[in-house]
Amino acid sequence: MKEYTNRCGDIYTFTKQEDGNVLMEGKFEWMRAVDDFIDPSGGPFIKVGQMLSHIIYDDEFNVIVDGFERVDNGYLIKCKEHKYDPNDMSHLRERTDD
Radius of gyration of the chain (CA): 16
**pTM over the 0.85 mark:** no
Q: How far apart are the first and last CA of the chain?
A: 50
Q: What number is the average pLDDT over the span 1-10?
A: 96
The answer as to whether 60 is a domain residue is: yes
% pLDDT > 90, the chain: 80
What is the domain count for the chain? 1
% pLDDT > 70, the chain: 86
pLDDT tens across 79-88, in order? 998 776 667 6
The answer as to whether 49 is a domain residue is: yes
The answer as to whether 92 is a domain residue is: no
The answer as to whether 94 is a domain residue is: no
CA nearest 37: which of 27, 47, 28? 47
Domain assignment of residue 35, given as a range: 2-81
The answer as to whether 50 is a domain residue is: yes
The answer as to whether 8 is a domain residue is: yes
pLDDT tens across 43-94, in order? 999 999 999 999 999 989 999 999 999 999 999 999 998 776 667 665 555 5
The answer as to whether 10 is a domain residue is: yes
**What CA–CA distances, in Å, run from 75 to 41, 78, 79, 96?**
15, 9, 12, 47
The answer as to whether 89 is a domain residue is: no
